[in-house]
Structure 1
């Protein structure tokens, strides 16, 4: 193998590893493949959704998460929906807002 091919392969490997570990794609892909009950909100994506608190019990699902636009929780389960979301713009207007406490989110609709 000549030097240019080796350099190209090395560069491609570096780019793949960077993509997997510097974005949320790697952790989300792993959890989707191995986790029972793990999902990503439809408003988000496998590249942006970041888990901020996982369930500590036997289920492999998140309790709180966020992306560039929203905060998400599975702790609030009124209306029989799998999760609730609040935009970060709205959250910034709530004086007592805490991203890991859905009771401060003022989710009344």
Structure 2
């Protein structure tokens, strides 16, 4: 088989592999939706303690901006505070806050301040 056919087959196989990997990441993680949120609204940030692959927003602002209000990953719950003191705060998933409600910041105890970007 001529050399250029082998190169073409290798390029096609590489492209198919890339498409398959993209599809797997897109369907098994929130990475694509996180990327979309960050591209479409500049006020969106990802918590420094999390990652684009593991961060899952579960409450989105319903106003003109589509930033996340509450999110989580395997280790923490996050609240987008957007104040001078803190851009976001977080609490461990394994917290012992009495009456903890992941959708109500007022029930969170011992919150930690997220890192500024």
Give the alignment's TM-score, normalised by structure 1: 0.79
Deviation at 1:65, TM superposition (A): 0.3
The structure with the largest alpha-carbon Rg is: 2
Following TM superposition, the consecutive aligned residue runs of length 4 or more in structure 1 with deviations greater than 3 angstroms are 4-12
Residues 8 and 74 of structure 1, relative CA distance in 2, 3 Å threshold: closer
1:55, 1:63 within 8 Å by CA — same for their partners in 2?
yes
Measured on the aligned residues, the alpha-carbon RMSD in Å equals 2.5
Q: Which moved more, 1:8-17 or 1:56-65?
A: 8-17
Q: Residue deviations 1:52-81, cap 9 Å, x none?
A: 10000112211100001100012585x621
* 1:32-51 matches, cutoff 5 A: 32-51=38-57
Q: Which runs of 5+ in 1 are unaligned?
A: none
